Amino acid sequence: TSDQQAARPRLAVPELLIGIGLLACAGAVAWQTLSIPVSPLYSKVGPTVFPYITMVGMTILSLLLIVAALRGGWQPEEEKETP
How do the domains of the chain map onto residue ranges?
Answer: 19-37+44-74
Give the predicted TM-score (pTM) of the model.
0.73
Give the chain's mean pLDDT.
82
Other CB atoms within a 10 A radius of the CB of residue 15 amount to 19
Whether the predicted pLDDT of 29 surpasses 60: yes
Residue 25 or residue 75, greater confidence: 25
Cβ neighbours for 54, distance < 8 A, ≥ 6 positions apart = 29
Residue 36 is predicted with a pLDDT of 86
Share of the chain above pLDDT 70, in %: 76
Residue 32 has pLDDT above 70, yes or no: yes
Question: CB–CB of 15/65 below 8 Å?
Answer: yes
**What is the pLDDT at residue 74?**
72
Closest CA to 19 of 74, 72, 64: 64
